[in-house]
């Protein structure tokens, strides 16, 4: 028997009967609503909660219930047909994209939800690509089939066109919009009609009726052909017109789903409790268990060699800390995905990232905002630990005798910042402690201090995100703060090559200071960051002074040179210089490096870059001209429009600076009926007139 996991109620679940899955989608796709139904139909909860009423299981934060959105990913465990399903419900709003990123890093499979009326939306593409990055197998669920304008076929076309992935529908809708009644299971060729109760607990299963038989037969034939195409044995049977059994089809589809060669597609209406049961079966039938996936890969912290860990209890312990959360009752919760081995309460573990030992105080099995104490956790589990003091998101925990460092989680840089200051002196100390806890929770949340203005600057992925942070400071930590206007995260770079020279010579009796270097700088592609190269030959600068030059260069670039914004996408080569046998020091060469980069930067046609957002606006078609005109006046570039049932969706790119506070604007332009969504796309140079306004004058102040 496969390694077993001890679970609640003294049940033993073989590891091949464990599913670690996530629910991902665009904003308002129905993630939390679908999760609530999955929990209800598996008996985890006994009453279906509502997002609108703030009664859902996985939205436990006060702000989530007030706003009707998911802010933090929530982990919950349920059981179905002797299978254990660990579900993570993720946010849809791009401001909280770190929650999606870290969840996908540790999940084995995912359910991707699409709006049956809107098809593939902007954030749908983003989370799909994130899942691709972490090689997560998925099943797709076309939700809201009861909505006006819903179309299963149009959604399939949208997925094919925008995501270009090999999908295979395994159900057909019975009716659409107000006539949606259930689905046709193409594997079994049975109709599942939700006609017995409003909660969808009971339904009728029957043979396909004549009116749907032709469409269902054609769809099943297409499904069989697509599945057979991924299996040589089945393809041979298919070509010879031999019958392929349902178990054979399911086995082949499972294999193709796990290897991401096919993505099964389902449909339903989660809000109306229709079409969720087939999804539960699909989680069991097609999404992988921990042993179905390749062993976790990392590297030896001593030799740097690539090593692996199999998902087995007898292997040395290894796990990835993917989420840190402050809890008012127990302190800091550290969520860990265990890839191999076991851990026990009170056990010492090794943080391979920080190369420090930590002790597990308590182990908890999480059920959203409720928790259950356990003594031991096993490979394949997702658990929360209490007592880790120095471990943060992305750190690897492992057995000290068998150290391994797993690949970390990659996060985006913040795009917008806000100045905050405490209302009173008493709030000052509390604010510092609160911000430290919040930064440990979310790697995309940054805090800095402006010594010139005396202000604390917080930065994140969007205005809504910062608004939530300020609200949390007040409610959770009792800190009252005053805020400034949101500021865009500009960057500085160069557009041409240049050489620079830096000298620091100081004599004041006794030993002096001497440092001298010459550097060359070149522009890099967008997003490539800073690269420093030692090109010194012949020992004109001793190698022990090169790190000091690099430190001086990097610290200067981090502060900004022409406008006070961090510099990026530059290659720096130190190629010449000189030194003094007695007077040269690391401090002198650090200053020389700083002077050299400033000298070269001024000669390299410097630019200021601004964040460009991928922008999607939905508005009534009669306001289309007005909205497009407004976007154009804000330097927006219109990529295209799509019309559906009196509403038009505008796809565009636009500078972040131009759309701050746009929620109020779109409401006023469309009589309150328009909405928008945006996410970071890339950085572009600002127009020259704006660069001149942003550039620091000779007195060091911005205009």
- DSSP letter for each residue of 184-205: EETTTTEEEE--S-TTSSS-EE
pLDDT band at residue 4 under the 50/70/90 scheme: very low
Q: In 391-546, which ranges are E strands? A: 396-398, 405-406, 416-422, 446-450, 455-460, 481-483, 487-488, 491-494, 498-506, 513-523, 530-534
Measure the CA–CA gap between 354 and 382, rounded to whole angstroms.
22
- pLDDT greater than 80 at residue 92: no
The owner of tokens 């990123």 is 101
pLDDT of residue 161: 87
pLDDT of residue 3: 44
Contacts 24+ apart (CB under 8 A), 646-651: 646/620, 646/621, 647/618, 647/619, 647/620, 647/621, 648/618, 648/619, 648/620, 648/621, 648/624, 649/118, 649/616, 649/617, 649/618, 650/615, 650/616, 650/617, 650/618, 650/619, 650/624, 651/122, 651/615, 651/616
Convert the pLDDT of each residue in 218-247 to its tens digit.
Answer: 999 999 999 999 988 999 888 888 888 999
Find the mean pLDDT for residues 618-632: 90
Q: Which residues pair with 22 in a beta bridge?
A: 88, 110
Q: What percent of the chain has pLDDT over 90?
A: 36
**What's the chain's average pLDDT?**
85
CB-CB contact of 459 with 489 (8 Å) = yes
Q: How far is CA 209 from the centre of its chain?
A: 44
Who has greater pLDDT, 454 or 666? 666
Q: Identify the pLDDT of residue 284.
A: 93
Copy the structure tokens of residue 6. 């001890």
String of DSSP letters for 207-231: EPPHHHHHHHHHHHHHHHHHHHTT-
d(CA 310, CA 379): 9
Closest CA to 522 of 610, 603, 576: 603
Same domain, 137 and 230: yes
Going by their DSSP bridges, the two strands 18-25 and 109-115 should be labelled as parallel
630 found inside a domain: yes
**Any idea which residue has 């100081």 for tokens?**
506
Q: Is the pLDDT confidence value at 5 over 50?
A: no
Domain assignment present for residue 28? The answer is: yes
Of 263, 292, 321, the residue that ends a domain is 292
Say if residue 386 is in the same domain as residue 528: no
Q: What is the CATH number of the domain that holds 640?
A: 3.30.70.240
260 and 147 in a single domain? The answer is yes
Q: Are residues 248 and 348 in the same domain?
A: no
Choose one of 238, 272, 292: the last residue of a domain: 292
Q: Residue 385's domain is classified under what CATH number?
A: 2.40.30.10
Residue 330 lies in a domain: yes
Q: Are residues 110 and 239 in the same domain?
A: yes
Task: Classify residue 31 as left (phi > 0), alpha (psi -120 to 50) or beta.
Answer: alpha
Q: How many Cβ atoms are within 10 Å of 198's Cβ, its own excluded? A: 9
579-622 confidence digits (pLDDT tens)? 998 888 999 999 999 999 999 999 999 999 999 988 888 888 88
Cα(416)–Cα(219) distance, rounded to whole angstroms?
Answer: 48
pLDDT score, position 595: 95
Partners of residue 334 on adjacent β-strands: 324, 385
| Domain span holding position 528 | 492-604
Q: Is 211 in the same domain as 156? A: yes
> How crowded is residue 606: how many other Cβ atoms within 10 Å of its Cβ?
19
- Domain membership of residue 229 (yes or no) is yes
Residues 477 and 532 in one domain: no
Over 90: is that where the pLDDT of 421 sits?
no
Percent of the chain surpassing pLDDT 70: 91
CA atoms within 13 A on the CB side of 279: 32
Confidence of residue 439 (pLDDT cuts 50, 70, 90): confident
Domain match, 646 and 598 both: no
Residues 479 and 377 in one domain: no
Residue with tokens 């029957």: 206
Same domain for 340 and 246?
no
Could you tell me the pLDDT band of residue 29, with boundaries at 50, 70 and 90?
confident
CB 167 within 8 A of CB 260: no
What residues pair up with 678 in beta bridges, in sequence order?
615
What average pLDDT does this structure show over 33-58? 74
Retrieve residue 109's tokens.
């499979």
pLDDT exceeds 50 at position 267: yes
108 and 154 share one domain: yes
Q: Is residue 411 part of a domain?
A: no
Is residue 457 over pLDDT 70?
yes
Ranges 7-16, 145-154, 546-555, most confident: 546-555
b/e code 474-512 from CB counts within 10 Å (16+ = b): eebbebebeeeebebbbbbbbeeebbbebbbeeeeeeee
Contact 416, 489 (CB under 8 A): yes
Highest mean pLDDT among 282-286, 351-355, 643-647: 282-286
Residue with tokens 């299971």: 185
Distance CA(545)–CA(558), nearest Å, equals: 20
How much is the average pLDDT of 283-309? 89
Q: What are the tokens at 407?
A: 């690949």
| Count of other CB atoms within 10 angstroms of residue 340 | 27
Q: Identify the domain boundary among 582, 604, 626.
A: 604
Higher pLDDT, 285 or 423: 285
Residue 249, domain member (yes or no) = yes
Separation in Å, CA 641 to CA 371, 374, 594: 47, 53, 49
Supply the pLDDT for residue 1: 32
Say yes or no: 215 and 134 in one domain: yes
The answer to whether residue 556 sits within a structural domain is yes
Identify the DSSP state of 176: -
CATH of the domain at 507: 3.30.230.10
Domain count, the chain: 5
Rounded-to-5 percentages of helix, strand, coil across the chain: 30, 35, 35
Residue 157 placed within a domain: yes
Higher pLDDT, 681 or 96: 681
Per-residue HEC secondary structure of 72-88 comes to CCEEEEEEECCEEEEEE
């Amino acid at each position: 028997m496969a390694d077993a996991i001890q679970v609640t109620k003294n049940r033993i679940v073989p590891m091949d009967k464990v599913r670690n899955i996530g629910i991902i989608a665009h904003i308002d796709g129905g993630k939390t609503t679908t999760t609530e139904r999955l929990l209800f139909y598996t008996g985890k909860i006994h009453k279906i909660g509502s997002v609108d009423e703030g009664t859902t299981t996985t939205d436990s934060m006060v702000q989530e219930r007030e706003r009707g959105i998911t802010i933090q990913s929530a982990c919950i465990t349920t059981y179905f047909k002797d299978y254990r399903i660990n579900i993570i419900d993720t946010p849809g709003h791009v401001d909280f994209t770190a929650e999606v990123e870290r969840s996908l890093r540790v999940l084995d499979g995912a359910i991707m939800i699409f709006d049956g009326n809107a098809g593939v939306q902007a954030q749908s593409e983003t989370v799909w690509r994130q899942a691709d990055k972490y090689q997560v197998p998925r099943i797709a669920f076309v939700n809201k089939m009861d909505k006006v304008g819903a179309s299963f076929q149009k959604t399939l076309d949208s997925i094919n066109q925008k995501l270009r992935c090999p999908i295979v529908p395994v159900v057909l809708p019975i009716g659409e919009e107000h006539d949606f009644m259930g689905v046709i299971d193409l594997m079994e060729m049975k109709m599942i009609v939700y006609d017995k109760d409003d909660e969808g607990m009971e339904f009728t299963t029957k043979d396909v009726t004549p009116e749907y038989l032709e469409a269902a037969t054609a769809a099943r034939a297409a499904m069989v052909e697509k599945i057979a195409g991924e299996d040589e044995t089945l393809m041979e049977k298919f070509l010879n017109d031999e019958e392929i059994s349902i178990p054979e089809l399911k086995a082949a589809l499972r294999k193709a789903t796990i290897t991401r060669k096919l993505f099964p597609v389902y449909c339903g209406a989660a809000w109306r409790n229709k079409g969720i049961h087939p999804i539960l079966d699909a989680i069991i039938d097609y999404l992988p268990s921990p042993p179905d996936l390749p062993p976790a890969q990392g590297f030896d912290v001593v030799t740097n060699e690539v090593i692996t860990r199999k998902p087995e209890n007898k292997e040395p312990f290894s796990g990835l800390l993917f989420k840190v959360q402050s809890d008012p009752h127990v302190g800091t919760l550290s969520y860990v995905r265990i890839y191999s081995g076991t851990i026990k309460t009170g056990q010492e573990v090794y943080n391979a990232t920080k190369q420090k030992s930590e002790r597990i105080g308590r182990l908890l099995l999480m059920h959203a905002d409720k928790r259950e104490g356990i003594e031991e956790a096993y490979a394949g589990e997702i658990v929360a630990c209490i007592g880790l003091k120095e471990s943060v998101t992305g750190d690897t925990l492992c057995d000290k005798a068998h150290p391994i460092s797993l690949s970390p989680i990659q996060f985006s840089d913040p795009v917008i910042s806000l100045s905050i200051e405490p209302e009173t002196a008493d709030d000052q100390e509390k604010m510092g402690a609160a911000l430290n806890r919040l930064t440990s929770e979310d790697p995309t949340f940054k805090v800095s201090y402006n010594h010139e203005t005396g202000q604390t600057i917080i930065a994140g992925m969007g205005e809504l995100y910062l608004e939530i942070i300020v609200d949390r400071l007040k409610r959770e930590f009792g800190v009252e703060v005053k805020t400034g206007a949101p500021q865009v995260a500009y960057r500085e770079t160069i557009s041409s090559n240049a050489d620079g020279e830096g000298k620091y010579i100081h004599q004041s009796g006794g030993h002096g200071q001497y440092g001298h270097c010459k550097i060359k700088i070149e522009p890099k592609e967008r997003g490539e960051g800073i690269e420093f190269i030692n090109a010194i030959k012949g020992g004109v600068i001793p190698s022990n002074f090169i790190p000091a030059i690099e430190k001086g260069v990097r610290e200067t670039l981090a502060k900004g040179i022409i406008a006070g914004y961090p510099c990026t996408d530059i290659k720096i080569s130190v190629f010449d210089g000189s030194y003094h046998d007695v007077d040269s020091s690391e401090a002198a060469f650090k200053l020389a490096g700083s002077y050299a980069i400033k000298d070269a930067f001024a000669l390299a046609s410097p630019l200021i870059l601004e964040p460009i957002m991928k922008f999607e606006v939905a508005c009534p078609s009669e306001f289309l001209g007005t909205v497009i005109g407004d976007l154009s006046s804000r330097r927006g570039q219109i990529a295209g429009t799509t019309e559906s049932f009196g509403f038009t969706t505008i796809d565009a790119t636009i500078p972040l600076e131009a759309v701050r506070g746009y929620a109020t604007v779109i409401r006023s332009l469309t009589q309150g009926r328009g909405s928008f969504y945006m996410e970071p796309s890339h950085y572009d140079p600002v127009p020259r007139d704006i660069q001149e306004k942003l550039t620091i004058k000779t007195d060091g102040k911005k205009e």
